[in-house]
Amino acid sequence: RAAEWQLDQPAWSGRLRITAKGSTAFIKLEDKSSGELFAQAPVEQFPGIAVEGVTDSSRYFVIRIEDGNGRRAFIGVGFVDRGDAFDFNVALQDHFKWVRQQSELARQAQDLEQGPKLDLGFKEGQTIKLNIANMKKKEGGTGNTRPRPAGPGGLSLLPPPPGGKSSSGERPAPLSTPTKLPGTPITDSLLSWPQPTAAPAADVWGDFAKASG
């Protein structure tokens, strides 16, 4: 019970850090100014005997410190702020959650190595047939596709539209009078547009006149 401790007169005050090396977490008590290590408690599992909460507060814990020479001692630690005590719990839980995940991944990898391996190689004389849709017809095969003229670079080019413009749809108007440029003889035959000749009118009664009777 934390109520039995001398909470108003702690034996030591400083900062607490949690570090990890492999699967073991270390609770380190350090001087808040110089960072000198006061004591540390290695934690190999959580919850466990290395870290235990008290029964009458969520801000106080009992930790087992070690000096590295085999000597151990149990001391009580507490946090002034309840949020710091919550972060202390979460940090330990996250570390050992990661340890369990790594152990599970290693076990699955070992099971895959020991299990039977799937042989995907071809047996002697074994063949497979691939049915790929939309295959191009072989050269020389029958087909109704008409070849298009290929332009530079192997691209198919379409003939230019009449009138010299492809998008506007405008046609050049016929020139009424010839325009003479300096040094260039221009004749009427070059500038006049050929006029379409009218088709001769067909005699719609011709067949009836030639018919006998």
Distance CA 157, CA 166 (A): 13
φ, ψ (nearest 5 deg) of residue 81: -100, 135
Across residues 67-75, what is the average pLDDT?
A: 89
**Nearest alpha-carbon partner for 11 in 88, 83, 78, 80:** 78
The rounded percent of the chain whose pLDDT value lies above 70 is: 60
pLDDT at residue 157 tops 90: no
Token pair recorded at residue 75: 């001391």
Please tell me the predicted confidence (pLDDT) of residue 121: 75
The identity of residue 118, as a single letter, is L
pLDDT tens readout for residues 106-141: 888 877 777 666 667 777 777 878 788 766 655 555
What is the value of pTM for the model shown? 0.50
Other C-beta atoms lying within 10 Å of the C-beta of residue 186: 12
**What ranges do the domains of the chain cover?**
2-114
Please tell me the predicted confidence (pLDDT) of residue 39: 93
Please tell me the predicted confidence (pLDDT) of residue 180: 53
pLDDT at residue 71 tops 80: yes
Domain 2-114 is found in CATH 3.30.230.10: no
More confident residue, 76 or 207: 76
